[in-house]
Each structure stands twice: as structure tokens, then as C-alpha cells.
Amino acid sequence: MIKFDKVTKLYDDRTKAVDQLDLHIQENEFFVLIGPSGCGKTTTLKMINRLIDASDGSIFIGDKKITDYNIHELRWNIGYVLQQIALFPHMTIAENIAVVPELKKWSRKQILGRVDELLEMVGLDPAVYRDRKPTELSGGQQQRIGVARALAADPSIILMDEPFSALDPISREKLQNDMLHLKRTINKTIVFVTHDIREALKLGDRICIMKEGKVVQVGTPDDILNKP
């Protein structure tokens, strides 16, 4: 589904953030990138939706290079969730969730139905929350809206960059549990960045341990735990 073929990213022609990286991420897999700060996780993630372009090597989605897709279509078809979700403060929750469906010119009826469906999916009552403003929501609720927004136009790939790490431990645990449930009900390829090994072991189908821009190990949680 997503393939990295000897991908290198140099910043300022000297910092090698990612070094000849090869990755194969399967369709509908929950794939976790983990490693110490500065090992290249975020750079790897952002190269998938071309927020950052590789300096060398190729990235494929399906059998097409990402540089051969129209960049807007590429971004609309890849959901993206950040650590500190940036919701538009002047817009309602419904409007925030509907940004990509609006760009794709879905009908009003389709959008309203989708917003309510998504709010339920992330555990928020649509009747209560659809017309509220982001500032009326807790941090955990705002992250839920971030997840709903990323899922809105039903992309096949979701990128998540430490989506729960800014939350208090209880909210984090709740969102992790909901994510476990969600990953069983939606068929998506999810690439998830974290530096929390417990989170990685809990959520990941496979875990990729990175160090200094390279892969140290890739395997299932069992593989990772049983390595001598």
C-alpha cells in the first residue's frame, strides 16, 4: 500500500533526518513509528502527504509514485491528525469536520449526515456538539474532532503524529481504547507516530523502531517483546 524505496531526507544539505529508508506498509495495517526524539519519525510521516519532499529515493502509494499524484487530491485522500489539533476557532464543530467534504463539493445533505455519523463514531453526541465552537470542548474532545475531521472524506490512509500525547493520562487512555475499537471498525491504513512504547504495543499491528533516520527493527508487538 505505502512503499518507501531508499528514501533520504537532508535538511540544509547536512542534517540527514532520514537515511536510505525502506518501508512496506500493508493495506489496512496499523503501523507505528517509534524511536527517540529526532530519529526522523515526523519527517517520515510528512513525506507521505508531501508536507515534506524527499531529497532522494521514491515513495509509492499503490503502484504510483506520490509525485505522480495531483498534490491536492493526494492530501484530500490522506487524513492527518496532529498532536495539537488546530481547529478553526470561528467555525462550528460541524464546519470544522466538513472542511474536506466541502472542498470536494459534497451535497449539503451528504455533509450533514456524514458529520453526525463521525461525531457518533468518535463518541460525541451530534445533537449536543455539532453547533458548538472548539473552545467549548475539552482537550480530549478536540482531539476526537481532529480524528473525525481526518476521517471525514473517507480517506484510505490516516497519518497520526503523537495524536494523544498532549492529553492528560486518563483522556489519553480513553482515546487509545476508542482508537482500538475504531481500527477494528474502519478499514484504513494508519501510520501512527509515538515515542510511547506502551501505546505502540497496545495499538500497533506492526511497530517500526527507528534510530538516526534508519530502521532498527520492524515486527508485531510479539516480535518486539520476544526479541532477546
Can you give the binding site for ligand ADP, defined by CB under 6 A?
A: 11-12, 15, 17, 35, 37-43, 136, 138, 140-141, 171, 174
Q: What are the backbone angles phi and psi of residue 126, rounded to the nearest 5°?
A: -55, -40
The residue number whose beta carbon is nearest to ligand ADP equals 140
Q: How far is the CB of 119 from ligand ADP (least distance, A)?
A: 12
Distance CA 111, CA 18 (A): 39
- Nearest Cα neighbor of 219 from 210, 202, 228, 206 is 206
Q: What is the closest distance, in whole angstroms, from the C-beta atom of residue 59 to ligand ADP in the complex? A: 15
Q: What's the closest the beta carbon of residue 206 comes to ligand ADP, in angstroms?
A: 18
Instruction: Tell me which residue has cell 484510505.
Output: 156
Closest CB 199 distance from ligand ADP, rounded Å: 15
Considering the complex, what minimum distance in angstroms separates the CB of residue 15 from ligand ADP?
Answer: 5
- Output 174 or 202, the one with its CB closest to ligand ADP: 174
Q: In the complex with ligand ADP, which residue's Cβ is closer, 73 or 131?
A: 131
For ligand ADP, which is the closer residue by CB, 39 or 97? 39
Q: Which C-beta is closer to ligand ADP: that of 124 or that of 153? A: 124
Strand partners for 112: none
Q: Is the separation of the CB atoms in 95 and 88 below 8 Å?
A: yes
Q: Which of 59, 52, 72 is nearest to 25 (CA)?
A: 59
Closer to ligand ADP by Cβ: residue 103 or 216: 216
| CA angle, residues 185, 191, 194, in degrees to nearest 5 | 110
Q: Where are the alpha helices (DSSP H) in 28-70?
A: 41-48
Three cell numbers written together for 32: 507505528
